[in-house]
Amino acid sequence: MQTVSRVYDTYSQAQSAVNAIEQAGVPAAEVSLVANKYVSEKCADVEDVSKAGAGAGIGGALGGGAGLLAGLGMLAIPGLGPVVAAGWLAALAVGAAAGAAAGGLVGALVSAGTSDEHAHVYSESVRRGGTLVSARVEDSSATRIQSILDSYDPIDPVARGAEYRKSGWTNFDPAAPAYRPSETEIERIRRNRAV
């Protein structure tokens, strides 16, 4: 099995990517989505973190049923604050599946096979309003699933990391306050590039 991850600037891009890989045969149980709660139209007004996200039962509470997007819920991930999330990676990020040592989105991504550098950029991108989609796929399907995810215009982690470093960023900081974009920025992110 391989993990394929991509971050999208808009929640709608990520939704489309999730739908496409599920239609391509990736089971919902093998797909995860983590989005800044302020850019998801589904949960932008939700203020409370789900009790399901706080407990060890998060894996069952998120991502089951009729497709991943039907299982979205709110939870807190260290360094990101409240997020809209579903799936196995979200469970790993809150530490429910592998203990506190693997907690946090960077740790979850690295333990799933993402490079440390990309894990930091992906986590910071989610903190700043992006949406992460990850899928665990058979080795024989990895190239096909990567191609599907790439067709929804994900960020380039190398270019985005360079952009962040120009403003003084070095690595994702789980102690940094959760990012809350302005209402204008939220609307811009939601409208950005219709898929």
Residue 18 and residue 68 in contact, taking contact as beta carbons nearer than 8 Å:
yes
pLDDT tens string 92-137: 776 644 444 445 888 888 888 999 999 999 999 988 888 999 999 9
Q: CA angle, corner 98, sides to 30 and 53, nearest 5? A: 70
Write out the H or E segment, with its range, that includes residue 102: none
pLDDT tens string 137-188: 999 999 999 999 999 999 999 999 999 999 899 998 887 766 666 655 656 6
Residues 6+ apart with CB under 8 A from 97: 58, 59, 88, 91
pLDDT at 69: 53
Handedness of CA 164, 169, 171, 177 (dihedral sign): negative
The Cα 29–Cα 184 span in angstroms is 35
**pTM recorded for the entire structure:** 0.78
Cα end-to-end span (Å), the chain = 29
Residue 83 and residue 36 in contact, taking contact as beta carbons nearer than 8 Å:
yes
